[in-house]
Chains A and B, each alone.
Chain A
Amino acid sequence: MIYYKEWIKTRWFLLLLFLSSNGFAGYAVLRIFRVVELKGAAHLWEVGIIKDSVFIESTMQFVPLIAGILLAIVQFAPEMYHKCLKLTLHLPCSHSKMIFSMLKFGLLAVISCFFVNLLILFFGLQQVFAHELYWHIILTALPWFLAGIAAYLLTSWVVLEPSWLYRILFIAISMMLIRIYFISPYPEAYNGFLPYLTVFTFLLGSLSWISVSHFKKGKQF
């Protein structure tokens, strides 16, 4: 039931999110195809191998981050503005289950969107590059998509927080945490750290409970 409610609330935004993020992924691939047409594939290979370029960073690097932030705002800002969360928490159901079901809905939405983004990149790059090169690009892009998931969970945490004082503190913490995902410009720099970063990212979902506790206590400042 709660999933249906979330779907009704976000469906038009999800359509827009799906179209725009996949549009960016498609554009990143089309730009590569265009360079192949103009300068030849060999030129791109040389740039990728010798200059260590991953080609898609200017198009794709911050798309998942923005997508995660916007989805959390669209999903939770109306709840807080219209005080709907109060109604949700009055339903005869476990509070944590309700909140985490809402988060689960949002997470499934961003993850499926990012998955399609990655599929577009994967199949597009496969047309031009050998597996060493396209995996190099995909592995470099994975932390950006994890940043998108982290951005969704952290923005939810911030938006669900009723007190502005805590909200400002949480925004500062969130910005520092998001920095971790963009700390190195080097390709494949996160390879060894990715499994731990993935676990850490999903654990960020638990922070929303702090905001909900504040909400239940009626904290205003």
Chain B
Amino acid sequence: MKQFSKIFFYFICLFLLIWIAPWCYAFFSAKNDTPLLTLYSSVHKGFLNITRGDTNGSYWCDDNNVVFSREEADSLLPFFYIRQLITDNRFPDSICGRAFTPHEVNNTNFTFYSNPNLINANTVKLYPLLESQSKRVDLVMPSDVFRTTDDGIEFIDMESNSIEAEKSAKFTKVMLDKGFSFPAKQLSGNPSTRKEYDEGYLVLDSENKLFHLKQVVGRPYVRSIDIPLDIEISNVFITEFRSRRILGLLCDSQHKVYVLNSDYSISLVDIPSFDPIKESMTIYGNILDWTIIIKKDNAYEYYAINADDYSLIAEKTRPIDNNSVFGLHFTSNTDKYVYPRF
């Protein structure tokens, strides 16, 4: 026993040393290396970066280090700074030869964010399904939530904590009729009333077939979405952007990204790869272009995509100055699990 307790004590000391020492180093040597913001400018035909100045805050410059004043940056990024341009009465009649109204621009601007730690987490597998045509101005949270089981979909009334047998049977029947295989493997929805409309959920069934599920006037709306046979969808993201032009984003097992259009057709986004399980992605979209920022292990990748056909306009990479040291960690930026890892 004496021997074991001594060995265990030394093991604990070693274990704490390789955990705490790198943590202390990282804590005291921390420096702010996060890039502020990079956006593609269709006006400038290139990327513009917010850069930290040595003394007087931050400023916009392009990849050739040409510095722009605040007002110049507003004009080079008219979709991003639309509110400022309207306030200053400087919103142009046309941008890149095309006339846009401020309403049109506001309607098509969007931001999308995907972080692996939102995917790699243990969440409650209960989902509120909003009424998508409530005939009221505002959306209302439902009084029930649903789960999917091996046999079907079950709606549970939250006040009484009991299953709504009739509604569950109705939805299960329609889903089975549409070819849905229970249980659902993945669901993506945005159960919130702080949005303009509701598109319910994009659902991957147990056979990896993609479906669109929503509630319309109390009735189930289930639509099977045809995906080409050579594409194996691995992750789905519902978008619910104001423009209603697209329904969601899809990733396949080859880490290709697709746009699911509102007519249920899919279009390939011309970027090399994005793995939502390991990498984060931010998209700043407007009516002309999307700036896609992907954070990989060792670099930030920036892509400018044509908003009409999702073809690549420009790309660049910014290496990450990785100053992390070898050691034991219990948590990670890419998941919400706790376990020891090197």
Contacts and interface: CB of A to CB of B under 8 A. Distances in A.
Contact of A207 (B9, B121, B340): B9
Contacts of A190: 337-338
B339 A187 contact: no
A35 interface: no
Contacts of B231: none
Contacts of A49: 124, 126-128, 145, 191
B337 A192 contact: yes
B339 A193 contact: yes
Contact of B338 (A48, A189, A210, A213): A189
B43 interface: no
Interface residues of A, number: 40
Contact of A96 (B1, B121, B122, B159): B1
Contacts of A42: 141, 143, 158-159
Interface residues of B, number: 37
Contacts of A209: 1-2, 5
B192 A132 contact: no
A62 interface: no
Interface in B190-205: 191-192
Nearest to B15: A177
A40 interface: yes
Residue among A40, A129, A186 with the highest chain B CB neighbour number at 10 A:
A186
B159 A176 contact: no
A146 to B, nearest CB: 12
A57 interface: no
B126 A133 contact: yes
Contacts of A192: 337, 339
If over half of B's interface residues share one DSSP class (helix, strand or loop), that class is named, otherwise mixed; here it is loop
Nearest to A126: B161
Contact of B159 (A40, A50, A186): A40
Contacts of A176: 16, 19-20
Interface string A38-49: 001110011011
A165 interface: no
Contact of A173 (B16, B145, B331, B338): B16
B125 interface: yes
Nearest to A40: B159
A183 B331 contact: yes
B4 A206 contact: yes
B123 interface: yes
If over half of A's interface residues share one DSSP class (helix, strand or loop), that class is named, otherwise mixed; here it is helix
B12 interface: yes
Given A130-B156, A176-B16, A193-B339, A45 B5 contact: no
A213 B331 contact: no
Contacts of B127: 49
Interface string B136-159: 000001010101000000001011
A197 to B, nearest CB: 9
Contacts of A40: 158-159
B328 to A, nearest CB: 11
Interface string A202-214: 0100111110010
A52 B117 CA distance: 14
Interface in A95-138: 96, 127-130, 132-133, 136
A203 B340 CA distance: 17
A50 B191 CA distance: 8
A184 interface: yes
Given A206-B1, A206-B4, A210-B5, A189 B122 contact: yes
B100 interface: no
A191 interface: yes
Interface of B: 1-2, 4-6, 8-9, 12-13, 16, 19-20, 121-128, 141, 143, 145, 147, 156, 158-159, 161, 191-192, 330-331, 336-340
Interface of A: 40-42, 45-46, 48-50, 52, 96, 127-130, 132-133, 136, 139, 173, 176-177, 180, 183-184, 186-193, 196, 203, 206-210, 213
13 contacts: A40-B158, A45-B158, A50-B191, A52-B124, A132-B125, A132-B147, A180-B330, A184-B331, A184-B337, A189-B122, A190-B337, A192-B337, A209-B1
Given A136-B122, A186-B122, A209-B2, 6 more contacts: A42-B159, A46-B158, A50-B191, A128-B161, A184-B337, A192-B337
